[in-house]
Amino acid sequence: MHRARNFANQYRQTGVSSAVLDADPHRLIALMLSGARERARLAIACLERGDLPRKAQAISDASTIIGGLNGALDLEAGGEIADGLQALYDYAQRRLLDANAANDSAPLHEVDGLLGDIETAWRAIAPGTAPATAGATA
C-alpha cells in the first residue's frame, strides 16, 4: 500500500511539473492559486483527522505559494488592483498563521474562499477569452 501511494505521488508530481513547464504566465498564476487552495483544503482535512504535523506542512506550503503570488505582483504597473491583491495576500498569510497556531479550520475556509474568488476572476480574464459586450445580459 505504501509503495502504491509513493508511485501515485510521483505520478501526480510529474503531472504538476509538466503543467508548470508548459504553462504561460497567466496559467502559472492560475496553477498557483489552485495549489494554494488545495493546500488549505488539505490542512482542513488534516485537522479533522488530527494529523497536526501534516496540517502544519500544508499550511506552510499554502503560505509559500501565496508568498510567490505576492512576489509576482507588479505594483507599479498594476496600480490599485495590485495594491488590493497585495493587501489580500498579506491578510491570507495572517489567517494561515492564525489557523496554524489555534488549530482552527475557520481561517483555512476563509483563505480558500478568498483565493477562490481571485481564481475565478483570474480565469475569467484568461488570454483568448472574449470580452463581455457592453449591455449584454447573462
Note the pLDDT tens digit of each residue in 84-95: 999 999 999 999
Confidence check: pLDDT of 100 > 50: yes
Eight-class DSSP state of 89: H
Residue in this structure with the C-alpha cell 506552510, named with its chain if needed? 60
Distance CA 75, CA 84 (A): 10
- Cell for 73? 505582483
Q: Does 68 or 134 have the greater pLDDT score?
A: 68
Note the pLDDT tens digit of each residue in 104-129: 999 999 999 999 999 999 999 988 76
Distance CA 67, CA 5 (A): 29
Note the pLDDT tens digit of each residue in 3-48: 555 544 554 554 545 555 566 889 999 999 999 999 999 999 999 9
Distance CA 47, CA 43 (A): 6
pLDDT for position 127? 83
What is the set of domains in the chain, with CATH numbers?
Answer: 23-120 (1.20.120.340)
Distance CA 58, CA 62 (A): 6
